[in-house]
Structure 1
């Protein structure tokens, strides 16, 4: 596998195609696509970041972060369809977030999505207090991690 990271924006054709696959996958696991949690038009290049991962010129993973609160960003729309690309993706997203001045990353996923929860925990994320629209929502779990150089 020869993975390559490309910084882009949510309007990128490959990002959009991967997010469509993510939506189908999430719908099957959680009965919800998760689309309502991210609005493309709210993407701000000065504070947010979007990445597509390629394996030999084929888009295999995507994700983005947006400003959350002060020095923290929120990871959104993470998806990988190739084993190993997700780990590369999260390290690239975290590195890019550090470059933009973020010190912490947070995210939310559905509790039923055990594969995602285990993935994030393997990458150093732990459960945090619910935030935003996830407060008082038992079906969601919020995770966070301090970013470091």
Structure 2
């Protein structure tokens, strides 16, 4: 399969459509759409990035990274409805984050969302200390990865 991607703003119609699918999927898995964890208004195109992945001109995956602190970005709103698109998306998001100067990535997902947890573990993310609003929240798992290894 030949995936393509576009760097977009979060108000992009394809991104919005995929996020609606994500919200529905998360609601079924976790009883929470996750919408409260991402605000379009907080998106800063100087520091943040948003990608939509396409297969045969159809939007099949989306994701965002945003400034977290220092040289660390946080991955948000990751979703794929097509096999293989998630891995492609993650690779593109990580490359884009590196372009913007990030050296590490963090994220949080619900422990019950085993598909997501296992996806990130397969892609070299490791469980890490909880951060921000996830501190003390046992239903969440925080993961991190070095995007750039020290020379």
Q: Same fold (TM over 0.5)?
A: yes
Q: How does 1:44-63 map to 2 (within 5 A)?
A: 44-63=44-63
1:1-149 equivalent positions in 2, closer than 5 A: 1-148=1-148
Q: Distance in 2 between matches of 1:148 and 1:70?
A: 14
For residues 67 and 135 of structure 2, the distance between their equivalents in structure 1, rounded to whole angstroms, comes to 18
Unaligned regions of 5+ residues in structure 2, if any? none
Question: Any idea what the Cα deviations from partners look like across 1:51-96, whole Å, max 9, x if unmatched?
Answer: 0000010000000000001000000000000000000000000000
Alpha-carbon shift at residue 123 of structure 1 (Å): 0.4
Deviation at 1:2, TM superposition (A): 1.7
Question: Take 1:124 and 1:134, find their aligned partners in 2: how far apart are those partners?
Answer: 21
Number of residue-to-residue matches in the alignment = 149
Mind listing any 5+ residue stretches in structure 1 that lack a counterpart?
none
Over aligned residues, Cα RMSD in angstroms? 0.7
1:112-148: CA deviation from partner (whole Å, max 9, x where unpaired): 0011000000000000000000001000000000002
Give the drift of 1:22. Answer: 0.1
Where does structure 1 differ by over 2 angstroms across 4 or more consecutive aligned residues?
none
Say which SS state the counterpart of residue 25 (structure 1) adopts: helix
d(CA) in 1 for partners of 2:38, 2:64: 10
Query: TM (normalized to structure 1)?
Result: 0.99
